[in-house]
């Protein structure tokens, strides 16, 4: 059904919302609430008990998933059917982390062997860089990797690389450049040597404007050092792309190009050749562990019954918050500094996927879709916006992400970290009994805790895949296409026109604001050029 609000379960949930008790009353009335509303997988405990969900609401949410056809939509997803309807292709990123003996088909062909061919080539290249066997054009070992990408070609690899920093090769440093602002690339190049730097141009189409602008500037920087010798490009550049012709025209050697299929969406691409920078920094073994963790979550999502299925329950509780409780935002707080990019990664994953107002049937959606996602690592976030979370006029559910053990923290630090996490979740739920108005915390503010046994490559893969599938489930229930992003394209297309007008020095027909600003910029640019002359 195109309109999810017409389903019987939706109507029943709307009625149940009006009878939902306060969170602390739920705990008072049911001593077994934690056991009932937590799900365990090997290495992971998910606690959903601090969300305003009763037994009846959970039952109705599962019914909603069933009535919305989630089981059939999940089957089509894993079967490689064209679930990305507007672009007429599959979204089969699960194949990127499938074991070599697996069978996952797109267009009737098993795509897993091709995936592993690329993975094997990536491993060989990564080992050559890590061992020092790969030299720059002048004979020096590589010391710095610069990943040039944007969106999923930037956020996923950066998150994974930073999260796995304990495993980094001691000789290597990695830098991520995405912004078209000149200062982004310039500040990186200022402290590097052309002779020991390897650039990875990460672009599915090899036409992304911001990425290719930075890539050409980086190439000019290398060629300037080597007096225009194009042979240097083959020693200092690699590409993760689907566009072989454009990569070749850029000057990157064929053996330095690592392809992936067009059914890999940008925000789901870290598992592909786009993850090359992560593989080089953390090593092929850890990258394989990350893939294995994601594959574990794939298997769980594919087979577990809805009420015990982590991605399904995370998604359903999110729908309860968004559509029935009226919470427009979702906070994600990782209690690990190395996961500092997790909120930004999930912003793109969630908001680009489900920030949609039209159903797959082409009709306006009848209800709110994806929430605003934000966050920062705890404990920093506690001193930034937790005031708003505890005492503000709006309520935003919180996903707390942590691990009992990591490679980094000493026991006193880890105890302080985890104590803060538990305290914040309890305080959000309980509030306090202060009579002084300015000290009063109302409580009844929901949270979920995802607690891993250990923060490592495998658990990172599980975590990222968990949220991927959560987003899929919500899109399936809202009946929106979670795999396109037409909203990204309109502004970029208009920017090309404005850029040409800036070059010509003449403002075209626009609204008065755009035309006024454009005229001002053209004038100021002209003044600067005159001063330089």
pLDDT value for 447: 98
Q: What are the residue numbers of the active site?
A: 352, 383, 492
How far is it, in rounded angstroms, from Cα 307 to Cα 316? Answer: 10
pLDDT value for 353: 98
- The answer as to whether 102 is a domain residue is no
Tokens at 386, concatenated:
């937790």
Distances (CA, A) of 132 to 128, 137, 234, 385: 6, 13, 16, 45
| Cα Rg of the chain, angstroms | 25
pLDDT value for 142: 98
- The answer as to whether 97 is a domain residue is no
445 Cβ neighbours under 8 A, 6+ residues apart: 389, 390, 395, 397, 398, 428, 429, 431
For residue 379, whether the previous peptide bond is cis, meaning omega lies within 30 degrees of 0, is yes
Average of per-residue pLDDT across 448-465? 97
Express as a percent the part of the chain with pLDDT over 70. 100
pLDDT band at 512 (very low <50, low <70, confident <90, very high): very high
Q: Is there a single domain that holds both residue 265 and residue 318? A: no
Q: Is there a single domain that holds both residue 165 and residue 258? A: yes
pLDDT value for 26: 96
**Is 402 in a helix, a strand, or coil?**
strand
- The answer as to whether 99 is a domain residue is no
- The answer as to whether 42 is a domain residue is yes
Distances (CA, A) of 167 to 34, 65, 173, 413: 35, 40, 12, 20
What confidence tens digit (pLDDT) does each residue in 50-92 have? Answer: 999 999 999 999 999 999 999 999 999 999 999 999 999 999 9
Average of per-residue pLDDT across 315-325? 98
- The answer as to whether 98 is a domain residue is no
Q: Is there a single domain that holds both residue 74 and residue 174? A: no
Tokens at 177, concatenated:
């450049």
Q: Is there a single domain that holds both residue 339 and residue 465? A: yes
533: pLDDT strictly greater than 80: no
What confidence tens digit (pLDDT) does each residue in 141-153 have? Answer: 999 999 999 999 9
pLDDT value for 527: 85
**How many other C-beta atoms lie within 10 A of the C-beta of residue 62?**
19
What confidence tens digit (pLDDT) does each residue in 180-195 have? Answer: 888 899 999 999 999 9
What confidence tens digit (pLDDT) does each residue in 105-161 have? Answer: 999 999 999 999 999 999 999 999 999 999 999 999 999 999 999 999 999 999 999
How far is it, in rounded angstroms, from Cα 202 to Cα 208? Answer: 10
Q: Is there a single domain that holds both residue 468 and residue 497? A: no
pLDDT value for 29: 95
Chain Cα centroid distance, residue 9: 31
Overall number of domains in the chain: 3
Q: Is there a single domain that holds both residue 350 and residue 424? A: yes
Tokens at 468, concatenated:
């991927």
pLDDT value for 526: 86
Q: Is there a single domain that holds both residue 457 and residue 514? A: no
Lowest-confidence region among 47-51, 207-211, 293-297, 399-403 = 207-211
| Residue whose entry in the numeric block shows the structure tokens 């092929």 | 284
Whether 522 contacts 505, CB under 8 Å: yes
pLDDT value for 154: 96
Average of per-residue pLDDT across 501-507? 93
Q: Is there a single domain that holds both residue 366 and residue 309? A: yes
Cα angle, residue 424 at apex, residues 421 and 427 outer, rounded to 5°: 150
Domain boundary among 230, 257, 282: 282
Which CATH number fits the domain that encloses residue 356? 3.40.50.10490
Lowest-confidence region among 133-137, 344-348, 431-435, 451-455 = 431-435
Give the strand order in the sheet containing 398-406.
Answer: 38-41, 44-47, 447-455, 398-406, 329-334, 372-374
Per-residue b or e along 263-300, where b marks 16 or more CB atoms closer than 10 Å to that residue's CB: bbbbbbbbbbbbbbbbbbbbbbebbbbbbebbbbbbeb
Q: Is there a single domain that holds both residue 265 and residue 238? A: yes
Q: Is there a single domain that holds both residue 465 and residue 505? A: no
Instruction: Tally the residues of the chain.
Output: 533
528: pLDDT strictly greater than 90: no
Average of per-residue pLDDT across 398-426? 91
Whether 263 contacts 131, CB under 8 Å: no
- The answer as to whether 103 is a domain residue is no
**pLDDT averaged over the chain?**
95
pLDDT band at 32 (very low <50, low <70, confident <90, very high): very high
pLDDT value for 409: 66
What confidence tens digit (pLDDT) does each residue in 263-280 have? Answer: 999 999 999 999 999 999
Domain boundary among 282, 315, 338: 282
pLDDT value for 466: 98
User: Which residue range(s) make up the domain with 151?
Assistant: 111-282
Query: Shortest CA distance to 399 belongs to which of 302, 295, 294, 317?
Result: 317
- The answer as to whether 104 is a domain residue is no
Q: Is there a single domain that holds both residue 496 and residue 456? A: no
Domain boundary among 282, 312, 333: 282
DSSP secondary-structure letter at 358? B
- The answer as to whether 96 is a domain residue is no
**How many other C-beta atoms lie within 10 A of the C-beta of residue 374?**
18
DSSP secondary-structure letter at 21? P
Q: Is there a single domain that holds both residue 364 and residue 423? A: yes
């Amino acid at each position: 059904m195109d309109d999810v609000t017409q389903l019987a379960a939706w109507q029943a949930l709307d009625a149940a919302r009006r009878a939902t008790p306060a969170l602390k009353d739920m705990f008072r009335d049911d001593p077994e609430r934690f056991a009932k509303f937590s799900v365990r997988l090997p290495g992971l405990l998910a606690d959903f008990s601090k969300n305003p969900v009763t037994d009846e609401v959970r039952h109705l949410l599962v019914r909603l998933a069933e009535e919305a056809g989630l089981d059939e939509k999940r089957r089509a997803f894993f079967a490689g059917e064209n679930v990305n309807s507007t672009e007429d292709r599959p979204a089969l990123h699960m194949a990127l982390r499938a074991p070599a003996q697996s069978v996952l088909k797109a267009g009737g062909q098993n795509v897993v062997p091709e995936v592993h061919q690329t993975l094997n080539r990536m491993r060989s290249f990564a080992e050559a860089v890590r061992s020092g066997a790969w030299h720059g054009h002048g004979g020096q070992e590589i010391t710095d990797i610069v990943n040039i990408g944007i969106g999923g070609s930037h956020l996923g690899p950066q998150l994974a690389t930073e999260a796995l920093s304990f495993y980094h090769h001691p000789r290597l440093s990695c830098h991520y450049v995405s912004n078209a602002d000149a200062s982004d690339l310039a500040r990186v190049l200022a402290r590097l040597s052309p002779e020991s730097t390897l650039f990875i141009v990460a672009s599915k189409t090899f036409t992304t404007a911001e990425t290719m602008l930075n890539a050409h500037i980086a190439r000019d920087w290398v060629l300037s050092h080597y007096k225009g010798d194009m042979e240097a490009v083959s020693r200092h550049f690699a590409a993760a792309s689907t566009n072989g012709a454009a990569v070749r025209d850029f000057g990157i050697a064929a053996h330095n190009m690592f392809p992936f299929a067009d059914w890999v969406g940008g925000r789901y691409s870290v598992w592909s050749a786009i993850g090359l920078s992560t593989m080089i920094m953390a090593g092929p073994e850890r990258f394989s562990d990350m893939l294995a963790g994601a594959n574990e979550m794939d298997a769980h999502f594919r087979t577990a019954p809805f009420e015990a299925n982590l991605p399904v329950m995370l998604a359903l509780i999110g729908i309860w918050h968004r559509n029935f409780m009226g919470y427009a935002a979702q906070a994600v707080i990782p209690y690990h500094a190395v996961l500092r990019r997790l909120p930004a990664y999930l912003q793109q994953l969630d908001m680009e996927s489900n920030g949609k107002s039209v159903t797959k049937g082409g009709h306006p959606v009848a209800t709110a879709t994806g929430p605003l996602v934000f966050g920062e690592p705890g404990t920093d976030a506690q001193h930034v916006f937790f005031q708003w979370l505890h005492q503000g006029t709006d309520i935003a559910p919180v996903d707390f992400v942590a691990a009992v053990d990591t490679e980094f923290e000493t026991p006193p630090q880890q105890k302080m970290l985890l104590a803060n996490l538990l305290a914040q979740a309890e305080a959000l739920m309980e509030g306090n009994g202060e009579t002084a108005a300015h000290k009063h915390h109302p409580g009844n503010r929901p949270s979920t805790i995802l607690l891993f046994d250990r923060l490592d490559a495998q658990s990172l893969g599980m975590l990222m895949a968990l949220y991927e599938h959560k987003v899929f489930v919500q899109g399936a229930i809202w009946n929106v296409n979670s795999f396109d992003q037409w909203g990204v394209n309109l502004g970029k297309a208009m920017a090309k026109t404005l850029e040409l007008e800036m070059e010509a020095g003449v403002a075209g027909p626009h609204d008065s604001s755009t035309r006024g600003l454009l005229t001002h910029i053209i004038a100021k640019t002209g003044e600067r050029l005159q001063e330089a002359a």
